[in-house]
Amino acid sequence: MRKWISFPKQEGTSSRQAHADFPEQAIYEREAGRSGFFGPATHFHHQHAPTGWSEWEGPLKPRAFDFNQLTEQAPENPWLTPDLLSNNSCKFRIWHCSENMPYLVRNADGDDLLFVHEGSGHLYCDYGHIHLVKGDYFLVPRSTNWRLEPGEKMELLMIETTNGSYQLPEKGIVGNHAVFDPAVLDTPAIDDEFKAQYSEDSWKVYVKRHQQVSVITYPYNPLDAIGWHGDLAPVRLNWRDIRPLMSHRYHLPPSAHTTFVAERFVVCTFVPRPIESDPGALKVPFYHNNDDYDEVLFYHEGDFFSRDNIDRGMVTFHPAGFTHGPHPKAFKAGREHKKKFTDEVAVMLDTRDALQMSDAAMKVENPDYVYSWQEK
């Protein structure tokens, strides 16, 4: 048995409430916390921005990648798509699919979470047929056979929970129907379109296990189910069905926006919402230490109100070990309450274990991002 050392203290001049009513002489708040906003935490009040470094040496640094430039390395088979960020529990990929898949794929390493960044298409799997559109999450259980028929070129974010599974977060006192009602989760259907693809022709299944691919050939299409029943199935969730938790007097931590939970990481979704209106409340993400988790943000749509010069399709990566937070212009705009509503849509991956960057990711890195917090 173990227990965090916990005895809340106060020293010097500080606010009574985190993320609100800062002392006049120190407008910069920094949160040092453990266990990804669930453990003990202390809030410091600084005279200078905690991200005000003038020089940085060494590999531990904030990074930004323009994954829009990856189209030239776009194999049609998802298992040939390179990992961009990865550890033993998680694989983060960007996959482009422009043609109908004449074969099936199966991931024997773990569940896959697909997020449709661009395009739309029809997905066929063991459980039936479903139409995916831009902004959809689609959770594929481990060892499910599936294939895509894009109606237009599709770009998908793929997050694999290696040797694990995805579950929904506990919603605590706000109840099971908060953030999104489980009733909005859609499953594939054994419909006419699914039945139309029954076939006695030869089909191949590309199975990934331990990052190696085996090919199984059938003299018929294995997607031949006539029905199913049970409580294990792929599910679809569109970000537009997410109704974010909000507080007009308090800036909620990223953990309030958790969408899916895996064994060693979480996936959160930031969607449009009103900005805090209380005069004393912080109106942008607070400066905080990355002490236990690596943080990855995939920018899908909108104006990313805490970042400068970050466009859709780009990714920022803040590994554990330093303080980060809003860029100077965003912080100033928050102080002046210039915006009343955010219109951003972003997918966040927080991993308990350190992520490794691949060569493919490094080729599209912006090396100047580490200095983007400097006042211009």
- Residue positions in the annotated binding site? 288, 294, 324
Q: Which of 370, 272, 376, 357 is nearest to 93 (CA)?
A: 357
Angle at alpha carbon of residue 283, lines to 279 and 288, rounded to 5°? 125
Catalytic residue among 43, 96, 117, 251: 251
Catalytic residue check, 251: yes
Q: Which residues are annotated as a binding site for Fe cation?
A: 288, 294, 324
Q: Which residues are annotated as a binding site for homogentisate?
A: 324
Q: Are residues 348 and 269 in contact, defined by beta-carbon separation less than 8 angstroms?
A: yes
Q: Render the burial of 299-316: b for 16+ CB within 10 Å, e for the rest.
A: bbbeebbbbeebebbbbb
Query: Alpha carbon of 314 to those of 5, 299, 325: distances in Å?
Result: 39, 6, 17
Q: Which of 276, 280, 288 is nearest to 252 (CA)?
A: 276
Give me the active site residues, please.
Answer: 251
